[in-house]
Structure 1
C-alpha cells in the first residue's frame, strides 16, 4: 500500500513539474507563434527585409534587353553626350569670352556637368552602357560654329545656344524621370533636372541682360 502511495505521489509530483515548466516557458515567450509562419510572411529567395531600392541591383526586376531597359540605356548615352558637349563648350567660352557673366556661367557648366557626368557614368556602368568618347555630331557642329566667332558675336551665339539646349534638356530629363522605374537612374535624373533648371534660370537672366532673344 505504501509503495502504491509513493508511486502515486511521485507521479503527481512529476506531472505537476511538467505543467510548471510548460507554464513558465509560456510566460517567458508570450509572443512565440503556435503555428508555422504563413506563406505571406516568408522571405522570398534573394530578398532582404528593409533593403532600400538603391541597395538592390539595377536590373533586379527588369529585363536587361526589354523596352524599358533600352530606353534607360538610350537616355543615359544621350545624357552623357550632352554633358560632354556642355563641358567642352564651357571650356571654349572660358577661352574666347571677355564677358564676366558668360565666363562665370561657362565655369559653372564645366564644374556642374563634370560632376553630373561622373554620377551618370556610374549608372551607365551598371546598365552596361559604354560612355561616349566624343560628342555627338550636333555638338560638333555647334562647336565649329562658335569657334569661328569672336567678341560680342561669340557671346550672343553661346548664350542663345545655352538657352535653347537647357530648355530641351529640361524637357528630356523630366520625361526620362517619368519613364524610368530604375531607382538609381531616377535619383541621378532628379539631381540633373534640378541642376538644369538652375542653369536655365541663370542663362535666361544673362540673355535678358545682354539683349539676346532665344526662342522657347
Structure 2
C-alpha cells in the first residue's frame, strides 16, 4: 500500500513538471501549447542571420560624392532634355533633329531612373522650375544659328562633362547602386559623345 502511494506521488510530480520541461525544450519561435511563442514567429524560408543587416544597408542614405553626383547628373540631364526638345521642334537640319530626338529619349529615361534610385537612397531631387538662361537664349535663335547654339549647349562639350561625371561616380562612388547605375549608363553617354562630335562637325561645315 505504501509502495502504491509512493508511485502515485512520483507520477503526480512528473505530470506537474512535464509542461515546464516541454516548454524549455521548444525551439525559439515555435508555438507552445498555449499558442504563444518565446519570440516573434519566423517566416518560412526567412534568413534570420542576414535580415537585420539587409535592412540596415537599405536604410543607409547616400552621402558625399554620391549626393553630388545625383545633383549634377539631374541638372545636366534636365538641361539636355529641354534643349533637345527645342531642337526637335525648331531645327531644320536632319542630323541635328535625329540627334536631338535621341537625346530626349535616352536622357529622359536616364533622368527618371536616377530620380527613382535617388529617392530610395534618401536623396531628394527638387523639382526646379526656375528659368535656365541658356535655354532661354536658345529659344531666341533660328536656322543655322540655332543649330550651332544647340550643339554648343548639348553637344560634345556637355557630353564630355557627363562622361567625366559618370566615370568618377563609377570609380569613386560610395553607394553600390549609384555606382552600378553610373557604370551601366556610361556606354550610352560615350556613344552620345561620338555622335555629338559628328553632328557638330557637320553643322560647323554647313553640311
Scaled to the shorter chain, the TM-score interval is 0.5 to 0.7
Cα offset, 1:79, TM superposition:
1.0
Q: Which runs of 5+ in 1 are unaligned?
A: 1-43, 49-55
Partner of 1:151: 143
Residues 1:142 and 2:134 aligned together: yes
Contact in 2 for aligned 1:90/1:106 (Cα 8 Å)? yes
Partner of 2:98: 104
The one-character-per-residue Cα deviations of 1:131-158 (angstroms, maximum 9, x if unpaired) are 2312777xx1210221111000000111
Residues 1:70 and 2:67 aligned together: no
Give the Cα separation in 1 of the matches to 2:112 and 2:58: 25
Partner of 1:60: 57
Secondary structure in 2 matching 1:181: coil
Between 172-181 and 95-104, the greater mean CA deviation after superposition: 172-181
The one-character-per-residue Cα deviations of 1:9-55 (angstroms, maximum 9, x if unpaired) are xxxxxxxxxxxxxxxxxxxxxxxxxxxxxxxxxxx97527xxxxxxx
- With over 3 angstroms needed to count, the CA separation of the structure-2 counterparts of 1:130 and 1:106, relative to structure 1, is same
Residues 1:125 and 2:128 aligned together: no
Secondary structure in 1 matching 2:127: coil
Contact in 2 for aligned 1:81/1:136 (Cα 8 Å)? no
Among 136, 158, 163, the residue aligned to 1:170? 163
Which TM-score applies when normalising by structure 2? 0.67
Partner of 1:95: 89
Q: Which runs of 5+ in 2 are unaligned?
A: 1-46
Secondary structure in 2 matching 1:60: helix
Among 82, 104, 127, the residue aligned to 2:76? 82
Give the Cα separation in 1 of the matches to 2:178 and 2:107: 16
Partner of 2:23: none
Cα offset, 1:165, TM superposition:
0.6
Residues 1:47 and 2:50 aligned together: yes
Give the Cα separation in 1 of the matches to 2:49 and 2:188: 36
Residues 1:184 and 2:181 aligned together: no
The one-character-per-residue Cα deviations of 1:51-105 (angstroms, maximum 9, x if unpaired) are xxxxx56x729964xxx72221121122112111111111111111011111111
Q: How many residues align?
A: 157
- With over 3 angstroms needed to count, the CA separation of the structure-2 counterparts of 1:61 and 1:130, relative to structure 1, is closer
Query: Please, what is the CA RMSD of the aligned residues?
Result: 2.6
